[in-house]
Amino acid sequence: MTARLQVPTRDLPDWLRRLPRSRVVMEACTQSPAIARASQAANHETVVVPGQLVRALGVGARGIKTDDRDAEVLARASVRSEELPSVHLRTDVARSRKQLVSARAVLVKSRTQLSLFIKTWLRGQLLNIESRASSPKFPEAVRRLALDHVGGLPMELEVLLTSYESLTEQIHKLDEELEQLAEQDPISKLLMTMPGIGAIAATMFAAHVDDVSRFESGEQLASYLGLVPGEATTGGKVVRTSTIKAGPKQLRSQMVQSAWTLRRVRPNDPIVLWARRSRTSAANASRSRGR
């Protein structure tokens, strides 16, 4: 007979410590890292099933998704398979640094939204600003433009500009922290020897990848990052598509941005030249197949 027990989330760490060594299975979610750490601390075998897999196992089948039903589905799947796939459980250091870069990303996104709203206000006044939104001089440039052409600085615009400056200050603090962490971390320092990779990209890469030995090859790591082409092969005809939309979106975006920066700043770097040759070869091969 299967025992069922509902335990409040906050009480799970204590409850897990009282259990004999067991296999703890859960779905990947916001709370799963903390629960997984408590489970490992209690010496349990811990499996965090990826979100893409739980649907195939039956979680949420027929549009019905409840805690009791999901728990039963995962328990039955665990009994059927001794090698149920689990997401990588990051170390405390990697998790802390991932949270730091994620916090920075939230602030940058908020500042971007503010700058877009401010530029929209300016366009409504038939004004155009040449200063880049990411420039520290952006708020003052907006203030001068408004005072010179509108005849005054509206209160709501000043509030937005003040918020923009506050966000910029906080982003700068996080940037300084990330630079210090990168200088103290041997892996990040090694990554920063690569052209186009700075403290933010290096810290983000090290935090997301964590233990690189979990990848059997560089190709597998590139696939995890979503930096490999997709494939649509049918009838014996191999067709390569654009890069797959998989892996950590934030890190993939940062890697692409680093590549564009390298291409713009160091156009004659050997890596850039190799990338251009590869792109030309791929384009020629695509045209040949189309004939």
Q: How many percent of the chain have pLDDT more than 90? A: 38
Closest CA to 195 of 268, 103, 286, 121: 268
Q: How many domains does the chain have?
A: 2
Asked, for residue 142, whether it belongs to a domain, the answer is: yes
pLDDT higher than threshold 80 for residue 184: yes
Q: Which of 60-69, 74-83, 216-225 has the lowest mean pLDDT?
A: 60-69
At 62 the pLDDT is 72
Highest mean pLDDT among 6-10, 132-136, 150-154: 6-10
Do β-strands 23-27 and 45-49 pair in parallel, antiparallel, or remain unpaired? Answer: parallel
Residue 98, domain member (yes or no)? yes
Whether 102 and 188 share a structural domain: yes
* pLDDT the model gives residue 1: 40
Phi-psi group of 240: left, alpha or beta (phi > 0 → left; psi -120 to 50 → alpha; rest → beta): beta
Residue 66 and residue 30 share a domain = yes
Q: Which domain range does residue 165 map to?
A: 92-202
Alpha-carbon span 67 to 58, nearest angstrom: 13
Confidence of residue 276 (pLDDT cuts 50, 70, 90): confident
Going by DSSP bridges, is the β-strand pair 229-231/240-243 parallel, antiparallel, or unpaired? Answer: antiparallel
Q: Which residue has the higher pLDDT, 291 or 218?
A: 218
**Domain end point (choices 80, 108, 128):** 80
Whether the pLDDT of residue 291 is over 60: the answer is no
Supply the pLDDT for residue 230: 79
Residue 234 lies in a domain: no
Q: What is the pLDDT of residues 235-275, one digit of tens each?
A: 767 677 777 777 788 888 888 888 888 888 888 988 888 88
> Looking at the structure, do residues 59 and 121 belong to the same domain, yes or no?
no
Q: Are residues 142 and 56 in the same domain?
A: no
- Model pLDDT, residue 51: 80
- 248 lies in some domain: no
Residues 185, 104 share a domain: yes
* In a shared domain, residues 98 and 76: no
* Domain end (from 80, 100, 128): 80
On whether both 116 and 197 belong to a single domain, the answer is: yes
What pLDDT, on the 0 to 100 scale, is given for residue 279? 76
**Last-in-domain residue among 58, 80, 102:** 80
Establish if 262 belongs to a structural domain: no
Q: Are residues 166 and 76 in the same domain?
A: no
Verify that 76 and 152 share a domain, yes or no. Answer: no
Is pLDDT at 210 greater than 70 in this prediction?
yes
In terms of Cα–Cα distance, which of 35, 78, 74, 36 is closest to 55? 74
Inter-CA distances, 82 with 24, 47, 58, 198, 288, Å: 12, 11, 17, 42, 48
Decide if 220 is inside a domain. no
Q: How far apart are the first and last CA of the chain?
A: 66
Instruction: Report the candidate in 228, 202, 203 with the shortest Cα–Cα distance to residue 215.
Output: 228
Q: Same domain for 47 and 136?
A: no
Q: Is the pLDDT of residue 283 over 70?
A: no
Q: Residue by residue, what is the 3-state secondary structure of 200-232?
A: HHHHHHHHHHCCHHHCCCHHHHHHHHCCCEEEC
Whether 55 is in a domain gets the answer yes
Report pLDDT digits (tens) over 87-133. 888 888 999 999 999 999 999 999 999 999 999 998 888 888 877 77
